Structure 1
Amino acid sequence: MPVTDVTSLIDFDSLLDDEERLIRSTVRDFVDDKVRPHIAEWFEAGTSPRELAPELGRLGLLGMHLTGYGCTGSSAVAYGLACLELEAGDSGLRSLVSVQGSLAMYSIWKYGSEEQKQEWLPRMAAGEAIGCFGLTEPDFGSNPAGMRTRAERDGDDWVLTGNKMWITNGSAADIATVWARTEDGIRGFLVPRGTAGFTTSDVHRKLSLRASTTSELTLDGVRLPSSAMLPQARGLSGPLGCLNEARFGIVFGAMGAARDCLDATLAYAGARTQFDRPIAGFQLTQAKLADMSVELSKGLLLALHLGRLKDAGRLRPEQVSVGKLNNVREAMEIARTCRTILGGAGITLDYPVLRHANNLESVLTYEGTSEVHQLAIGQALTGISAYR
């Protein structure tokens, strides 16, 4: 009998505890009920439904790996499994949750004052307030140290001027964590929606992450009180620490997209007949399916291992780079190979594979390009930085 779950090939479930399996099943049911019936339409229309945020909040998925302030304090593995199931629905959905919890909320939770935490985190955990993370600039992506956005003192206030680009949740956000250069180095600031001089504009004509809001942030003399600064973040270690949290979710999430492609392709190959037999019965098709299932299995095991390390407090940044580099790269290859099995049907939104493939092109780039992660791994191996 054929498998009903491709992860059963390595008995992946046996490696999870009861709580982890419950969280995974709960998120999978949510995606099946609330996302799958509509995702093709959202992707085609280029819309990102904000009304999902309160539902994600009720499930405890927003900032779920944080503690206190309405957050559920789940394990790293549980958070990773949630990311996997969300991205099996669509990378845009996982991006919304990841940016909300691992970037916007985490920056406040890790570096904010108690007043900032009390003001924002409970509402963000409930999905009542949306956050974004303003680090990347039009001319400075992989090199955030070159950012031009500046924050200058004016009496007791700060005045911010600059632009941020490729910001997920940007125009939907009620609060933005914006990183800017000051006389004392790079610092983080909380910029509420509606602040004078703070505007957003969405990126259109996207071919990837279409069911996700991507924006440019413009800060034109934005005046903020001194209480808007994140007091515990100094230098690039602040934003880079947040990025490492988000990259961890991608390690799991990319495997969700890959699994969804493989599930859809197995079902199609078993039903599609050519030359009087299902195409699943041809050797070339089975070779592709076998290779993809092996890479999926390896990626799942790598993600789980890194999750266990994170829960033990022993996960290093270069290890996250190993996970993101491998799992996104293999997920892209799985999506493309699945498309070849689906033939012409694979280019339509009737099947998820090309949607996932297009989304993964963005996932490959954000939170550190594949080249940046190769160099991070190279530096760990050699002790030599190749960035300069």
Structure 2
Amino acid sequence: MAETAYMGGSCFHGDRILGSAVVRELDITEFRGIRRLAKPLELSSFNVLIGRNNVGKTAVLEALYMLTMPLPHTIPPPYGRGVVDFIAEKHGGSAAREQGRKWSLLVYGYAGTAVLKYRLGVKAKTSIPTKIGSCAEAALGFKEVSIESIQVEISSERDLLRVLADGVELESSSYESFLASMGADLKRSPIALYVPNDSSAYAQISSYVMRDDVFSWIEKEGAHRRAVQDIIAPAVYDKFTEVTIRRNELCVRKEVSEEIGPLYIGVGSLGEGVKRVLLIYMLVEYLKPKLLLWDDLEVAAHPSLLESVLRWLASSRRQVVVSTHSIDVLHTITVVRPRDCRVLVLRKSPQDVMEYKALTLDDIEDILESGVDPRKIIEELEL
């Protein structure tokens, strides 16, 4: 569909100016299937990860999601599990937990220590315990400090997880203080939201969105109407007006004529892609994460929806990292042209060292116009 059709048919209600990137740089050592990075991954406000299957795209997203709350404390929405538990269970963690080796699944080779380092792109601070007074009469107080980097260490041998801010170890309360300084609230607005390509995760998202308290807010703020206006309306001829719940089912209201309807169509009958995108739209509008991580974007977003989905993502004041191996996403991203966008082409060596090359949208346009076979794009880039 032409760009003008989308521009005329959709009006995004969020602020169009992208905010600062939460994470400017990520370094990974021995996490999941990545032994190490050849160089730290530099991130912008809008990032597209591309690469072959098993290159480590999902592991990068999971590493970024760990920033939400790596310590086993408060459980962020919407999955009803701690971040470490949620990631581990995606890789067989339920059985591993029974055997007392849950965290080993997050460590490369299932033994040793995984280290994740984040260089922040926003101002952050926290309060850390400190002694006040002389050694003999010292009292415990708190000192406010600025934070530029976070390091997460996951040890399989000791089943131990440590978080350090600029080299100082943080307890849960100090980490929550750090998150609050960036405008995050673990119970209502987590710093990051991760959307895996997993049907059970989407089922959990659906249950969360359909909760009375959550959907009441969605309706009050008009997100149930904007979801249709921003995402579906530009791609279909039917006159859908809003998302609603009827008989415990998520539906869209369809206007037909003065004599007929309105009709209420189950979102599942519109296709799995439409259902998933509507759920993510309403969830994101409700949680308002500062960092959105979306794995295999093209699986959720049908090709006819890709442009409207990418326009919505590009219009938001949040950092976005999506993964894909679809040429349709690359074509569409050059049409939408998000501000501060980078395409990160990932490749992994036989030694499990991940390397990457950052491309601009102009670079991608040149590659696509050259007629390169999409299946050979990684080789053509000559990492």
Structure 1 length-normalised TM: 0.27
Q: Which has the higher contact order (CA 8 A, sep 6+)?
A: 2
Higher helix share: 1
Higher strand share: 2
